[in-house]
């Protein structure tokens, strides 16, 4: 008989809902419980918030530790925050109960430089419980780090890498549109970014750190520039019904580079704004052979992130124990047909 991977999902914002909806549809995955601390969600039926007939009648619980004391699972999926410090208590509860962790927390995608102590602690804890902890997602986690790393495989040498994401943010979930400043004035945008009321895009530095670690590149510094607002030339209505007048912010551009001397060896250019413009994800390798790869239309960030999580479940079960990053895992791919007893 085919054995299923068991999971608990923590965090049921727009991303968590997309993820759990996909997990419930997956034949090889058994969702054992869902957790969120938002008072408006606690004790409610999951089916009220998800676009899926939930035959299990799952009810949203408020405490992961309590749930784990009743239900042991293979993997705890965490979609609560971009901040590693906020996610650490949940990771520890999961690991201490013997579960692996997959989180879309951007800072977990490459945590060693920003949080060396926490990283060491999580690595030791994961190894002592023989489980794996990993941060994933579309970006960071795939398009601007893992994919460019893999694309260098047939290169005899690599001198520099330029990675660009160009997306129409109007197609993304509301919290994404808000965190990139949609609907603000320029002044509000800069104020909220500097006061950390909105984050902009999180993860460019982590993506560069993962690439330089994988390729063994020597560099002097990594610089992430302050995001620049993009102003709309015409009024539009957001997917959540707010009017953004002409002259207001409709998105942003964020750039990060790794430098060796005066040379930029890695360049990341992230552009997300509402508008009917070309969308793509591109990677340009300057080397031998030179490689240019362009995904026309781009990969939808929210859809892709949910799939990254679902597909990673069998991969993480196969992986070695410890705190890992996407570059350390067995080759990630579509895994709906992989069963627990076939690993
Ligand atoms: N790596 C990637 O590619 C990628 C892609 C997409 C999203 N993300 C990240 O994923 C995160 C989730 O996205 P989202 O848009 O769904 O965010 P969101 O709207 O902030 O939703 C997060 C949900 O988690 C709940 N929560 C917060 N702390 C919790 C805790 N300790 N225990 C249980 N529940 C908790 C929140 O409750 P409250 O509302 O009460 O706080 C909220 O319901 C964001 O940080 C986002 O930046 C990463």
pLDDT of residue 53: 78
CA dist 55 and 25 (Å) reads 11
pLDDT of residue 308: 98
Does residue 287 have its Cβ closer than 6 Å to ligand 1?
Answer: no
Strands (E), the chain: 5-10, 29-35, 60-61, 75-78, 100-103, 132-135, 157-168, 221-224, 228-231, 236-237, 243-244, 249-260, 263-273, 280-288, 291-296, 322-324
Does residue 325 have its Cβ closer than 6 Å to ligand 1?
Answer: no
| Rounded average pLDDT per 10-residue block, the chain, 343 residues | 94 97 96 97 94 85 97 97 97 98 98 98 98 97 98 98 97 94 97 94 96 98 97 96 97 97 97 96 98 97 97 97 98 97 90
| Centre of ligand 1 from the C-alpha of residue 30, in Å | 22
**What SS3 class is residue 218?**
coil
| Centre of ligand 1 from the C-alpha of residue 226, in Å | 23
pLDDT of residue 250: 98
Host H or E run for residue 201? none
Does residue 15 have its Cβ closer than 6 Å to ligand 1?
Answer: yes
Between β-strands 263-273 and 249-260, what pairing exists: parallel, antiparallel or unpaired? antiparallel
| Maximum pairwise Cα distance, the chain | 60
CA dist 175 and 239 (Å) reads 11
In contact, 212 and 266? CB cutoff 8 Å: yes
Does residue 104 have its Cβ closer than 6 Å to ligand 1?
Answer: yes
Does residue 177 have its Cβ closer than 6 Å to ligand 1?
Answer: no
| Centre of ligand 1 from the C-alpha of residue 339, in Å | 28
Does residue 61 have its Cβ closer than 6 Å to ligand 1?
Answer: no
Between β-strands 243-244 and 291-296, what pairing exists: parallel, antiparallel or unpaired? unpaired
Over the range 300-331, which residues count as b (16 or more CB within 10 Å of their CB) and which as e? bbbebbbbbbbbbbbbbbebebbbbbbeebee
Q: For residue 188, give every residue at least 6 positions away whose Cβ sits within 8 Å of its Cβ, in sequence order, or none.
A: 181, 249
pLDDT of residue 56: 81
pTM of the predicted structure, to 2 decimals: 0.96
Does residue 304 have its Cβ closer than 6 Å to ligand 1?
Answer: no
**Ligand 1 atom with the shortest distance to the CA of 89:** 31
In contact, 266 and 160? CB cutoff 8 Å: yes
Architecture of 5-136+303-342 per CATH? 3-Layer(aba) Sandwich (3.40)
Residue of 34, 46, 80 to mutate, ligand 1, most atoms within 8 A of C-beta: 80
What is the secondary structure of 249-301 as a DSSP string?
Answer: EEEEEEEEEEEETTEEEEEEEEEEESSS---EEEEEEEEES-EEEEEET---H
**Ligand 1 atom with the shortest distance to the CA of 62:** 33
| Centre of ligand 1 from the C-alpha of residue 94, in Å | 17
Closest CA to 323 of 152, 94, 165, 60: 94
Question: Looking at the DSSP assignment, which residues form a beta bridge with residue 174?
Answer: none
Tokens standing for residue 295 = 């995904």
CA dist 325 and 309 (Å) reads 13
Cβ neighbours around 105 below 10 Å, total: 28
pLDDT of residue 32: 97
In contact, 336 and 28? CB cutoff 8 Å: yes
- Domain boundaries of the chain, sorted by first residue: 5-136+303-342, 146-298
| Centre of ligand 1 from the C-alpha of residue 332, in Å | 23
pLDDT of residue 69: 96
Does residue 36 have its Cβ closer than 6 Å to ligand 1?
Answer: yes
**What SS3 class is residue 304?**
helix
Does residue 137 have its Cβ closer than 6 Å to ligand 1?
Answer: yes
Q: How far does CA 265 lie from the centroid of its chain?
A: 24
330: left (phi > 0), else alpha (psi -120 to 50), else beta? beta
């Amino acid at each position: 008989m085919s054995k299923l991977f068991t999971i608990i999902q923590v965090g049921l914002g727009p991303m968590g809902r997309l993820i759990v909806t996909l997990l419930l549809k997956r034949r090889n995955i058994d969702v054992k419980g869902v957790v969120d601390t938002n008072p408006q969600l606690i004790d409610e039926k999951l089916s009220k918030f998800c676009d899926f007939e939930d035959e299990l009648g799952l009810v949203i619980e408020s405490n992961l530790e309590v749930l784990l004391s009743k239900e042991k699972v293979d993997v705890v999926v965490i979609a609560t925050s971009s901040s590693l410090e906020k996610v650490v208590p949940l990771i520890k509860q999961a690991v201490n109960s013997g579960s692996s962790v997959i989180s879309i927390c951007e800072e977990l995608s490459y945590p060693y430089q920003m949080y060396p102590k926490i990283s060491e602690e999580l690595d030791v804890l994961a190894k002592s419980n023989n489980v794996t902890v990993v941060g994933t997602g579309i970006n960071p986690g795939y398009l601007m780090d893992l994919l460019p790393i893999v694309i260098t495989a047939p290169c005899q040498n690599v001198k520099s890498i330029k990675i660009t994401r160009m997306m129409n943010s109007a197609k993304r979930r509301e919290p994404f549109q808000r965190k990139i400043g949609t609907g603000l004035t320029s002044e509000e945008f800069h104020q909220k970014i500097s006061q950390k009321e909105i984050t902009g895009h999180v993860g460019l530095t982590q993506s560069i750190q993962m690439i330089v670690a994988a390729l063994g590149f020597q560099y002097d510094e990594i610089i992430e520039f302050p995001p620049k607002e993009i102003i709309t030339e015409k009024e539009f209505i957001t997917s959540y019904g707010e009017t953004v007048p002409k002259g207001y912010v409709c998105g942003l551009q964020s750039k990060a580079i790794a430098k060796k001397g005066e040379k930029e060896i890695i360049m990341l250019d992230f552009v997300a704004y509402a508008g009917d413009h070309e969308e793509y994800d591109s990677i340009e390798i300057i080397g031998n052979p030179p490689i240019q790869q362009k995904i026309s239309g781009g990969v939808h960030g929210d859809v892709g992130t949910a799939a990254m999580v679902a597909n990673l479940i069998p991969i993480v079960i196969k992986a070695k124990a410890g705190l890992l990053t996407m570059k350390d895992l067995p080759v990630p791919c579509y895994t709906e047909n992989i069963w627990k007893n076939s690993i």
